[in-house]
Each structure stands twice: as structure tokens, then as C-alpha cells.
């Protein structure tokens, strides 16, 4: 089997999960580099029972690298182009290139064909967008989509390891009757919900909400879809949940939608109300599929559906999707 030289840039929650997923999915890694900031350089990580020393990222780090997985943040803005110039294909989990018309924005279950026109850079979509479009793709193909209204319930792991630590710390403080302290979120996150993810924009929406609006249209290849979003951070460690209302162009019953979703790649339908079976974040944790349930018709409009969509945001919402893109590149002979 042909193997590839792989660089993982970033050793936070997403970077660590990328290494885990590469190993679990047996991606043909021949040579591995783990890169990060000077703060992490010199530490070690384990991959396939071997220890790797984390190196400081520089423009020269990408010589001989076939594919570079950037975990997020500012790294790709600084080093992404240098990695491409060195001959690597960059798969970037940040927001730096997602809406660049020259950069494909790819979810393998939805628009795998878009990897074919990459020019060295491929963007990994926002976590909340990924799980929604995986669930909506079979509905879009069958009946078209006119409008999407989505409300998200996003886990703190989407804000990184420090956010996970803050929720754990604040939960202990609340239960102990102590003063609650924190620095990651603007308000207490333990036992609370914050309708505030990323910065607020002039239109009153948050940047996270507008990511869902714009990325959905680009991934689906349809600028006519109307999308509106409200994104909320909730005191869950891992696993994003979404209430999705969709207005289709043609009538699609709940039963028909349920059957389409059962056959869809990457989707697991959990929808048995008598058994109290519906998608839960604690059940999606550690899984790569997108879970869909509470599928029902919206009786306020002619062609409406409601559904509940849950996925592991560190895996399918970030690391797994990036590795799946790398697998696509191998399958298409593009590495």
C-alpha cells in the first residue's frame, strides 16, 4: 500500500482527535510530523504506539509533506500557503479560507466532487454546519430545500480544552456553593446557556450564526436556500445538538424523510418515541456518524419538516471530516 507523509498542525482538542482518527481509520501514514507553537514544542504525543516529539511550526516544516491537517486557529493563516508551496495539500479546520471562492469547502457525504478542483487548499466547514448538511443532503436531493431555520445547542469542547476545563471547574464551584470564576466565556457556562458563540456582527447575528448561513449555501451549491440560525453554547462537554426546521420545495412526509435518512451515508436514525429513543449528545460522543431523530412534519406550512440532529463536534464536526477529505484525495488519486 502506498503511504503518505502527513503533518498535523495543532495539539489542542481537535489536533489530538485528528491523530486518534488517523490511527482508528488506518489512514496510510508513512511519515508523521506533529507541529504546534513554541509553547508545545518539545512535548510528546503517541501515535500507533510510538512517541513523536512535537516540533515548532515554521515555513520549512512542510518540506516533503503530502497532506497537512491544520487543526484550527491562526496557524493556517500564517503557514497554510507556505505548506501548499512546499507541495502539501492543506486541509484546514479554521475559518480562514472557507468562503474563498478558490477553496473547496467539503463534507464528503455531501459534495465529495469538490475536492477535484482544489488548488492546494481544502477547507473543513464549521462543526455545526457539517452535521446539519449531512442530515439535509438526502432531503435536498429528494425534494429541494427552500428555507432552513436552525437553533444549535453547542458543547463547550467546540471552544477548546480550556473551555472544557472551565465547565468542569465551574460545575464544582456551583455545587460547592463557591464563587464562580472563569475566563473563557463572558458569563458562567455551568448550569447556564449562552446565546453567544464567536463575535457579534453589525447585523445582530454572531459570526458562528453567519458561518452556518454562508457555508450551507456553498457546500450545497445553492445560493437560493434561505438560512437563519441561532447558535447557543450549553453546559455539555462534547456533542453538538441542533433543532432544524426545513421547508422543502416539494412535499416530503416525515415517513419518507425518515426512510431517506436511514439510507443516507454517515447518518443514523434514532426515532422511536414509544421507546423514548432520540439522539443524545452522550450517545454521539466518540462516534463519527450524524444522528437524526424527532422527525416530524411542521403543520404550520405546506412543505415543512422538523428534526433533531446530534453529532460529536470534535470528530465528525472537525477531525473525522478532515481525515475523510484526506481519504477522498487518496481515492481520487489527488495526493
**240 included as an active-site residue:** yes
Is there a single domain that holds both residue 97 and residue 136? no
Query: How many CB atoms are closer than 10 A to CB 332?
Result: 13
Q: What is the pTM of this model?
A: 0.96
Mean pLDDT of the chain: 97
Q: Residue 33 has what pLDDT?
A: 97
Q: Is 12 annotated as a binding residue?
A: yes
What CATH number is attached to the domain comprising 68? 3.40.50.720
Q: What percent of the chain has pLDDT over 90?
A: 98
Q: Residue 143 has what pLDDT?
A: 98
pLDDT greater than 90 at residue 277: yes
Q: Is 154 annotated as a binding residue?
A: yes
293-326 pLDDT, tens digit per residue, is: 999 999 999 999 999 999 999 999 999 999 999 9
What CATH number is attached to the domain comprising 193? 3.30.360.10
Domain that holds residue 41: 4-124+318-331
pLDDT greater than 90 at residue 1: no
Q: Is 40 annotated as a binding residue?
A: yes
Is there a single domain that holds both residue 158 and residue 242? yes
Q: Which residues of 289-320 are buried (b: 16+ CB within 10 A; e: fewer)?
A: bbbbbbbbbeeeeebbbbbbbbbbbbbbbbbb
Work out how many domains the chain is built from and give that number: 2
**pLDDT band, very low/low/confident/very high, at 20 (cuts 50, 70, 90):** very high
Is there a single domain that holds both residue 159 and residue 299? yes
Measured CA to CA in angstroms, residue 22 lies from 27, 184, 326 at distances of 5, 29, 10
pLDDT greater than 90 at residue 85: yes
Is there a single domain that holds both residue 285 and residue 249? yes
Is there a single domain that holds both residue 289 and residue 171? yes
Q: Residue 311 has what pLDDT?
A: 98
pLDDT greater than 90 at residue 72: no
Is there a single domain that holds both residue 61 and residue 95? yes
Place of cell 508551496: 85
Strand order in the sheet with 55-56: 55-56, 29-36, 4-9, 67-70, 89-92, 121-123
Q: Is 144 annotated as a binding residue?
A: no
Nearest residue to 57 (alpha-carbon basis) of 88, 91, 34, 32 = 34
Q: Is 233 annotated as a binding residue?
A: yes
184-220 pLDDT, tens digit per residue, is: 999 999 999 999 999 999 999 999 999 999 999 999 9
Is there a single domain that holds both residue 107 and residue 148? no
pLDDT greater than 90 at residue 252: yes
Measured CA to CA in angstroms, residue 261 lies from 80, 140, 238, 248 at distances of 36, 11, 24, 15
| Cell numbers placing 63 | 518540506
Q: Compute the distance between CA of residue 291 and CA of residue 35 in angstroms, rounded to an integer.
A: 33
151-165 pLDDT, tens digit per residue, is: 999 999 999 999 999
42-66 pLDDT, tens digit per residue, is: 999 999 999 999 999 999 999 999 9
Q: Is 157 annotated as a binding residue?
A: yes
Decide if 127 contacts 318 (C-beta within 8 A): yes
Q: Is 258 annotated as a binding residue?
A: no
Place of cell 515554521: 58
**127 included as an active-site residue:** yes
3-state helix, strand, coil in the chain (%, to 5): 35, 25, 40
The residue from 118, 127, 193, 196 that is catalytic is 127
Is there a single domain that holds both residue 89 and residue 190? no
Is there a single domain that holds both residue 98 and residue 183? no
Is there a single domain that holds both residue 178 and residue 262? yes
Is there a single domain that holds both residue 68 and residue 119? yes
55 sits in which H/E element:
strand 55-56
What is the average per-residue pLDDT within 102-122? 98
Is there a single domain that holds both residue 302 and residue 198? yes
Q: Compute the distance between CA of residue 1 and CA of residue 64 in angstroms, rounded to an integer.
A: 19
Q: Is 245 annotated as a binding residue?
A: no
Q: Which of 38-42, 107-111, 152-156 has the lowest mean pLDDT?
A: 38-42
Amino acid at each position: 500500500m502506498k503511504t503518505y507523509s502527513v503533518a498535523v498542525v495543532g495539539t489542542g482538542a481537535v489536533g489530538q482527535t485528528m491523530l486518534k482518527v488517523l490511527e482508528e481509520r488506518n489512514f496510510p501514514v508513512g511519515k508523521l510530523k506533529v507541529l504546534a507553537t513554541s509553547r508545545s514544542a518539545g512535548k510528546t504525543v503517541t501515535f500507533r504506539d510510538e512517541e513523536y516529539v512535537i516540533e515548532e511550526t515554521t515555513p520549512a516544516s512542510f518540506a516533503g509533506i503530502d497532506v497537512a491537517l491544520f487543526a484550527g486557529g491562526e496557524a493556517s493563516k500564517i503557514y497554510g500557503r507556505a505548506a501548499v508551496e512546499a507541495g502539501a495539500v492543506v486541509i484546514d479546520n479554521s475559518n480562514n479560507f472557507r468562503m474563498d471562492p478558490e477553496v473547496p469547502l467539503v463534507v464528503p457525504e455531501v459534495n465529495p466532487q469538490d475536492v477535484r478542483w482544489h488548488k492546494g487548499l481544502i477547507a473543513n466547514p464549521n462543526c455545526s454546519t457539517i452535521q446539519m448538511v449531512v442530515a439535509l443532503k438526502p432531503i435536498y436531493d429528494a425534494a429541494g430545500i427552500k428555507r432552513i431555520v436552525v437553533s444549535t445547542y453547542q458543547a463547550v469542547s467546540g471552544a477548546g480544552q480550556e473551555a472544557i476545563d472551565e465547565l468542569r471547574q465551574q460545575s464544582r464551584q456551583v455545587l460547592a456553593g463557591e464563587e464562580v470564576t472563569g475566563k473563557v466565556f463572558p458569563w458562567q457556562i455551568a448550569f447556564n446557556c449562552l446565546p453567544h458563540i464567536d463575535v457579534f456582527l453589525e447585523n445582530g447575528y454572531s459570526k458562528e450564526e453567519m458561518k452556518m448561513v454562508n457555508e450551507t449555501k456553498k457546500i450545497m451549491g445553492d445560493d437560493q436556500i434561505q438560512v437563519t440560525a441561532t447558535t447557543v453554547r450549553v453546559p455539555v462537554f462534547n456533542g453538538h445538538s441542533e433543532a432544524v426546521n426545513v421547508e422543502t420545495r416539494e412535499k416530503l412526509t416525515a415517513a419518507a424523510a425518515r426512510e431517506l435518512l436511514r439510507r443516507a451515508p454517515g447518518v443514523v436514525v434514532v426515532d422511536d418515541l414509544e421507546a423514548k429513543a432520540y439522539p443524545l449528545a452522550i450517545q454521539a460522543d466518540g462516534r463519527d456518524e450524524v444522528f437524526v431523530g424527532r422527525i416530524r412534519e411542521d403543520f404550520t406550512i405546506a412543505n415543512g419538516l422538523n428534526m433533531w440532529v446530534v453529532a460529536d463536534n470534535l470528530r465528525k464536526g472537525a477531525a473525522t471530516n478532515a481525515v475523510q477529505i484526506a481519504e477522498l484525495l487518496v481515492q481520487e488519486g489527488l495526493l
